[in-house]
């Protein structure tokens, strides 16, 4: 397993669960100093990340890009793949496709988390799920064809979405809809709220897990909450997970302390 730390470029998300908020150069510099393998970037839009700047920062620091988030499409515009409004769905698709291109050019996947949306009160769950399946299918095919990368899909806790909250229901739905090239993002903060047993959930989702948000129960660095992380890591090892543990956490008590605590836990747990 590999380590990653988040860099948020969205000023409206300054109080969000991201470690670094002072630009790409600063985030990459700190990431490498503290021993991370990679960075995960949360941009306002794809066009706001210069591919050449990010590529040269990654090369200069021997870092990888772990993933790129698309949540700003929801946060700033309320665009989602399951919206009842076809124009909104189109905007959502284009926004995500642009991030697939930006991340894919650097060998990394895009994340669909908040942009799955929520079920509109005047629509049925089945209708919303069909719209979501259509959007994910198109985007995952595109990610594969254009860049040979998967698309990451993230179940969220009940306060953020009423579509998918747990890994197992997500895995069953992806499988039954034959949504190829979509991998599950297991966020340990959401899992702590929704899963009965985090280890079992990981073992059941198995090879469908493609990324992990590495957060303690309170969305602080691992070791600062009450999640029993040792069995969670053992389960990730048992399914042969070799992807990123990416710190999507609040920068508390400050960014560097959160990153340092994450790295210390990572070394203890993963070796
Ligand atoms: C939001 O809570 C979250 O976990 C993000 O990764 C979703 O885009
Ligand atoms: Mn997350």
Nearest ligand 1 atom to the CA of 111 is: 8
pLDDT in tens, 28-71: 999 999 999 999 999 999 999 999 999 999 999 999 999 999 99
Q: Is the pLDDT of residue 208 over 90?
A: yes
More confident residue, 134 or 121: 134
Which domain, by its residues, includes 124? 2-270
Q: Which region holds residue 184: left if phi is over 0, alpha if psi is between -120 and 50, else beta?
A: beta
- Give the residue, by CA position, lying nearest to ligand 1 atom 2: 156
Report the separation in Å between the CA atom of 239 and the middle of ligand 1, taken as the mean of its atom positions: 23
Instruction: Give the CATH number of the domain where residue 247 resides.
Output: 3.20.20.150
> Does residue 131 register a pLDDT over 90?
yes
Query: For the chain, how many structural domains are there in total?
Result: 1
Pocket mutation for ligand 1, best pick of 41, 160, 193 (most atoms within 8 Å of C-beta): 160
Alpha-carbon gap, residue 185 to 204, rounded angstroms: 14
> Which pLDDT value is given to residue 271?
86
Mean pLDDT of 154-158: 98
247 alpha carbon – ligand 2 mean position (Å) = 9
pLDDT tens readout for residues 159-202: 999 999 999 999 999 999 999 999 999 999 999 999 999 999 99
Cis peptide bond prior to 98, omega within 30° of 0: no
pLDDT given for residue 177 in this prediction: 95
Residue 160 CA to residue 162 CA, distance in Å, equals: 7
Residue 242 CA to ligand 2 center (angstroms) comes to: 18
The number of the ligand 1 atom at minimal distance from the alpha carbon of 160 is: 2
- Report the residue among 15, 18, 71 best suited for mutation to probe ligand 1: largest number of ligand atoms under 8 A from its CB: 71
């Amino acid at each position: 397993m590999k380590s990653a730390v988040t860099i948020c470029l969205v000023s409206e998300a300054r109080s969000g669960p991201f470690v670094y908020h002072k630009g790409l150069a600063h985030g990459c510099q700190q990431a490498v100093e503290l021993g991370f393998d990679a960075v995960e970037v949360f941009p306002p839009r794809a066009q706001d990340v210069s591919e050449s700047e990010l590529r040269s920062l990654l090369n200069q620091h021997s870092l990888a890009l772990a993933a790129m988030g698309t949540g700003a499409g929801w946060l700033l515009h309320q665009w989602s793949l399951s919206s009842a409004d076809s124009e909104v769905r189109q905007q959502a698709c284009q926004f995500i496709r642009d991030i697939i291109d930006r991340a894919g050019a650097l060998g990394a996947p895009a994340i669909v988390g908040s942009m799955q949306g929520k079920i509109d009160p005047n629509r049925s769950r089945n209708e919303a799920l069909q719209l979501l399946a259509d959007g994910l299918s198109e985007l995952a095919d595109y990610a594969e064809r254009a860049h040979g990368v998967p698309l990451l899909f993230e179940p969220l806790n009940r306060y953020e979405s009423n579509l998918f909250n747990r890994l197992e229901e997500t895995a069953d739905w992806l499988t039954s809809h034959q949504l190829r090239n979509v991998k599950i993002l297991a966020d340990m903060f959401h899992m702590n709220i929704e899963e009965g047993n985090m280890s079992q959930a990981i073992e059941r989702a198995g090879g469908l897990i493609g990324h992990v948000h590495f957060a303690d129960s309170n969305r602080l660095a691992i070791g600062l909450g009450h999640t029993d992380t040792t069995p969670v890591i053992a389960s990730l090892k048992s399914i042969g997970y070799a992807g990123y543990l990416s710190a999507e956490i609040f920068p508390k008590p400050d960014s560097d302390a959160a990153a340092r605590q994450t790295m210390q836990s990572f070394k203890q747990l993963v070796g």
